[in-house]
Chains A and B, each alone.
Chain A
Amino acid sequence: MNAIIALSLSGIASLFLGFSTNRKNLLITTLLFVLVALGLNLADWNHEYFWFNNMLKTDNLSINFSSVILLSTALVVAISRSFGDDEEHTHPAEYYAIMLFAAAGALMMVTYENMIMLFVGLEILSVSMYILTGSDKRNLRSNEAALKYFLMGAFATGILLFGVALVYGATGSFNIHGIGEVVSRTKKGMELFEGGVILYAGIILIFIGLLFKVSAAPFHFWTPDVYEGAPTIFTTFMSTVVKTAGVAAMYRLLSISFPAVYGLWGNPLVWITCLTLIVGNITAVYQQSFKRMLAYSSISHAGYLLITILAKTPNTNGSILFYSLAYSIATISAFAVLMIVSENKPKDGKPDESFEALNGLSVNNPFLAFVLTVSMLSLAGIPLTAGFFGKFFIFTDAFSNVSPLFKNILVVAILMSAVGVYYYFKPIIAVYMKKGEIAEIQLPLIYKITLIITTALTIILGIAPDLVKNMF
């Protein structure tokens, strides 16, 4: 599709732009590139196209996912003002270029029609993220995060690939629709190499590989470390773009290729979802670092997204998209505030990312305090924010599925939503109720605009969700 080509070309272009001495323009140019890609992406609306010999397929669903991804990318680029301010980031153009490449990989993950493209897209995204995670070269935490991410990511890819190979052996195809057809014809107890065991083993391995990527428990253990160690701006990218792409890829595969064997992946996924919700939420309660708390919160949101994948109702498309969008904009707001506040008050020469760093933010920076509050409320799912409707749609989906398994999930999800409130309110407590002094922080214009956009979007979607939901 054109957006992928545009992103790849503009990535190369922005590498060349690195030669120019004026770094201020880089941000604007990159933003422009992303927005152009967004426009190209939307141009295919209401058409179904196959690209590159059936390698990719764009339909409205994939365009919507791509739009969420590109929108998140644009917002992340917009708050990336600190590149080039310090010695570590002397080559800002490279970071922008890698982010553009990563976005291209993410788009491939949501539009793939062939397993090859899933793999290539996943790797483009992952390899870019390994680099970005380790971009703070002298910081040992960043190094460690990069290594962990790399080893875990490559490991997960290996598992995924073995699964793909087995599924290929059983079905003779890499095309997801082709696989779907064979799978729906396959019955249990078939001869070993004609399907049967090989196919099921393959599906399970693919499934595990993807669960690693969306950081669902029990495959989540790398997530908090990587999220905490990576520079905040890239953590933002990871927890929005990478997560959306991962969930979308998983949804695409499970809903197109493997709906016929729902029993095979559905039952384990119920338990994985419950576990993800429990682990993500309960562990988040104990965190002292805001950034790490957000990492666990991203695990728990992966759990909510898995509920809709499981529910398999006709509304699932809209629910996943709405939830990803709501989650992404709220997360970007939260990370943006965290980034700007923690840089403002370094502790031991490093940005202070604990909750204490936020103490008394509301005194001199009411705007930042408000932005943070709205984003936390949205993540917690309080009404009149986008997050509430996200949860509402997900629960509705879970309810419309009459499978008795959903009783467990609903109970867990409800309890965990209540737990979520506790830790999402920690930053709010710090901001409004704890005593502390934070001098007034001067926000660059583009930062302010981004925060206004994310906050306004969160509230507007909380009042009129049908604006977006009915589009999907």
Chain B
Amino acid sequence: MQQLPDVIRQIPLNNYVWFSAALFCIGIIGVLTRRNAIIIFMSIELMLNAVNLLLAAFSSYKADPAGQVFVFFIMAVAAAEVAVGLAIIVMIYRNIQSIDVGILNKLKW
């Protein structure tokens, strides 16, 4: 059976980089254009996943485990962030029965 890093290395590194860059950009566009808090939130998660993918790819190409360790850190921290973020969104939903960020305009310059 092939080692997992070898499997990963069957695809050129270039492709990983472009793919995660594309994912990342989709995430950014999502954050900037969508108005639903949950969708924005999902887009951010997409950005983080792009990072994870990139780190894993680099890690196996460099045969350096540090990158994969970092991925675990990102996952764990992102989970904590999700917990807090969803709590905030729920709190807002309770108050205004909506999670459309367009409605939130109490604070304006």
Contact = CB atoms under 8 A, between A and B. Distances in A.
Q: Do chains A and B touch in the complex (CB under 8 A)?
A: yes
Interface of A: 115-116, 119-120, 123, 127, 130-131, 134, 137-138, 140-141, 143-148, 150-151, 154-155, 157-159, 161-162, 164-166, 168-169, 172-174, 192-193, 198, 224-225, 228-229, 283, 292
B47 to A, nearest CB: 4
A128 B91 CA distance: 16
Contact of B77 (A119, A140, A147, A166): A119
A228 B50 CA distance: 33
A161 B51 contact: yes
Interface of B: 13-14, 17, 20, 24, 27-28, 31, 37, 40-41, 44, 47-48, 50-51, 54-55, 58, 62, 64, 66-67, 69-70, 73-74, 77, 80-81, 84-85, 88-89, 91-92, 95-96, 101, 104, 106-109
A220 B89 CA distance: 22
B43 to A, nearest CB: 9
Contacts, number: 125
A168 B88 contact: no
Nearest to B71: A165
Q: Is the interface of A mostly helix, strand, loop or mixed?
A: helix
What 10 A-B pairs come out closest when comparing CB atoms? Answer: A158-B47, A225-B107, A169-B58, A144-B104, A161-B51, A165-B54, A123-B77, A154-B44, A143-B92, A165-B55
Q: Point out which of B67, B89, B101, B109 has the most chain A C-beta atoms below 10 A from its C-beta.
A: B109
A229 B91 CA distance: 15
A318 B70 CA distance: 33
B77 A120 contact: yes
B84 A283 contact: no
B13 A193 contact: yes
A155 B44 contact: yes
A228 B37 contact: no
A114 to B, nearest CB: 9
A144 B107 contact: yes
B39 to A, nearest CB: 11
Q: Point out which of A119, A130, A148, A157 has the most chain B C-beta atoms below 10 A from its C-beta.
A: A157
A161 B74 contact: yes
Given A119-B70, A154-B44, A228-B107, 15 more contacts: A116-B69, A116-B70, A120-B73, A130-B84, A140-B106, A143-B91, A148-B104, A148-B107, A151-B40, A151-B101, A165-B58, A168-B58, A168-B66, A169-B54, A169-B58
